[in-house]
Homo-oligomer: A and B are copies of this chain.
Amino acid sequence: MAPQLDGFFKQVDDSTDHFIERLRKAVAIPSISAEEARRPDVVRMGQFLADELKALGVTVELRELGEQPGKPGLQLPPCVLGRYGNDKNKRTILVYGHYDVQPAEMSDGWATEPFELTVDEKGRMFGRGSTDDKGPVLGWLNAIEAHQKAGIEFPVNLLMCFEGMEEYGSEGLDDLINAEAKKWFADADAVCISDNYWLGTKKPCLTYGLRGCNYYSIEVSGPGADLHSGVFGGTAQEPMTDLTKIMGELASNDGKIKIPGIMEQVAPVTPEEESLYDSISFTMDNIYESLGSETTIHNDKKSTLMARWRYPSVSLHGIEGAFSAPGAKTVIPAKVIGKFSIRTVPNMEIDKTNELVCKFVEERFAALKSKNTLKVYPQHCGNWWVASPKHWNFSAAAKAVERVWGVEPDFTREGGSIPVTLTFEQATGKNVLLLPMGSSTDGAHSINEKLDKRNYIEGIKLLGAYLHYVAEEPLV
């Protein structure tokens, strides 16, 4: 069945200017969660959102999250909880988004004022937070309003969770989600998160998997303090020499992980999965463009997508304690801390992976017969996440994409991590869907962040349509 969406769509189109105006007001509030001095603006943005929701008849509670860890006296911005509709005969969808943004200043290289929504002749709406994540958050409000104005019954009960610290580690959110799992979120039948992007620029996607991340430190220390290389070069065993040898052995430069036992944990590729990649709208030119070079490990689309989504990788991030400034300094660093991480995938286990990594690093260090001292340990670990794309939550979204965009969506995974996804899945026990609004060129954390007008307006239609198809999906 196809729900009657035409009235809703027409209302969205007719409200375009109004919806852009709402986004303009939101972008104008510089709700930068990473900057302490902007905390009042973050709070103001949460209040703006709450007021807009209340005006639409949504029941709203602002949940205070207490002081920011490590910042005595600095209150976290509230989490905005909303409920729209309470009909036992309807499904209930829990949606998540965030109202804080990344830092932005003209001096970073913006072409326009970052906190002034600026629409160009191509319909690109520039402004910090336009695509990440104010546009998608307001999408839900706009969908509710268009239903009201068109006189169309809202197809589901909607629960909302909009936080204000996403760009600064979602401080306090996990505790809130777990605390509300059996309270505010108790009725949720499924979860929908709009905080990611299409794989490219042409075709929408539905995202059903994310890699995890285990982040490690390797500390090598020896001398009591930094040394002068003239005096001690050739007589002291240098921690940097040990460390670079070990870091150089973690992976080959064509991406092969050299730590035994890691690849053995990776789920085998099924013929079904094998067939998925060819049809996905993605080309090597896409990655060359985003990379700014052609220095890829693989030369074909399928290997590249598999490497990003379904295989683990090792990245070397840097070294703490060594000389890192421009110029020359003849220091022998006394203690250096190498940082690297492994992106994890099914069926890798965090503990098992940590054990293999530490064992390998310790063995390689032992082989050096160094007099220096080694410590290796995980700094933080977040698990991978994979949902079932066969669930009605995904089927409904796929139908909505076909209806709004006229194409079947790509079913994709992502290489990065969105930890809240796993938290929602574990706390509610329900299927989680990532339903992106913006495209791959939106520059979420960069200068000149934008959301295309088309992605915003069709995106509002998509959210509404998704909820109608959710209502029609058969019970399982």
A residues with CB within 8 A of B? 211, 213, 215, 222-225, 227-238, 240-242, 244-255, 287, 290-298, 304, 307-308, 311-320, 322-334, 339, 341, 343, 368-372, 379-380, 414-417
Contact = CB atoms under 8 A, between A and B. Distances in A.
A215 B296 CA distance: 31
B291 A227 contact: yes
Given A215-B328, A234-B313, A224 B292 contact: yes
Nearest to A257: B234
Given A304-B235, A319-B319, A248 B253 contact: no
Contact of A312 (B234, B287, B322): B234
Contact of A291 (B236, B253, B317): B236
B253 A237 contact: yes
A233 B314 contact: yes
A238 B313 CA distance: 11
Given A295-B222, A315-B330, A324-B318, A308 B231 contact: yes
Which of A240, A292, A330 is packed against the most chain B CB atoms within 10 Å? A240
Contacts of A232: 291, 308, 415
A3 to B, nearest CB: 35
B241 A371 contact: no
A456 to B, nearest CB: 23
Nearest to A247: B244
B223 A292 contact: yes
Contacts of A297: 234-237
A306 to B, nearest CB: 9
12 contacts: A213-B230, A224-B293, A225-B292, A230-B414, A240-B247, A241-B316, A245-B253, A253-B372, A315-B330, A318-B324, A319-B322, A320-B325
Contact of A234 (B215, B233, B248, B343): B343
B238 A315 contact: yes
Nearest to A368: B253
B416 A293 contact: no
B415 A343 contact: no
Say how many copies of this protein the assembly contains: 2
Contacts of A380: 328
Contacts of A290: 231
Which of A222, A318, A326, A333 is packed against the most chain B CB atoms within 10 Å? A318
Contact of A231 (B293, B296, B317, B414): B414
For the complex of A and B, list the 3 residue pairs with the smallest distance between their C-beta atoms, beginning with the closest: A224-B292, A230-B416, A234-B313
Nearest to A298: B235
Which of A235, A252, A308, A314 is packed against the most chain B CB atoms within 10 Å? A235
B339 A328 contact: yes
A312 B229 CA distance: 11
Which of A213, A223, A227, A248 is packed against the most chain B CB atoms within 10 Å? A248
Contacts of A339: 323, 328-329
Contacts of A317: 229, 240, 322-323, 328-333
Contacts of A313: 229, 233-235
B311 A318 contact: no
Which of A314, A315, A334, A343 is packed against the most chain B CB atoms within 10 Å? A315
B230 A343 contact: yes
A432 to B, nearest CB: 18
A320 to B, nearest CB: 6
Nearest to A210: B230
A254 B253 CA distance: 26
A235 B244 CA distance: 22
Contact of A318 (B215, B296, B331): B331
Contacts of A322: 316-319, 324
A360 to B, nearest CB: 15
Contacts of A241: 248, 250-253, 316
Contact of A332 (B236, B242, B315): B315
Contacts of A368: 253
Contacts of A343: 229-230, 233-234
A318 B240 contact: yes
Contacts of A315: 229, 233, 238, 240, 330, 332
Given A320-B325, A379-B328, A233 B415 contact: yes
A308 B230 CA distance: 8
Contacts of A249: 248
Contacts of A414: 230-231
Nearest to A287: B235
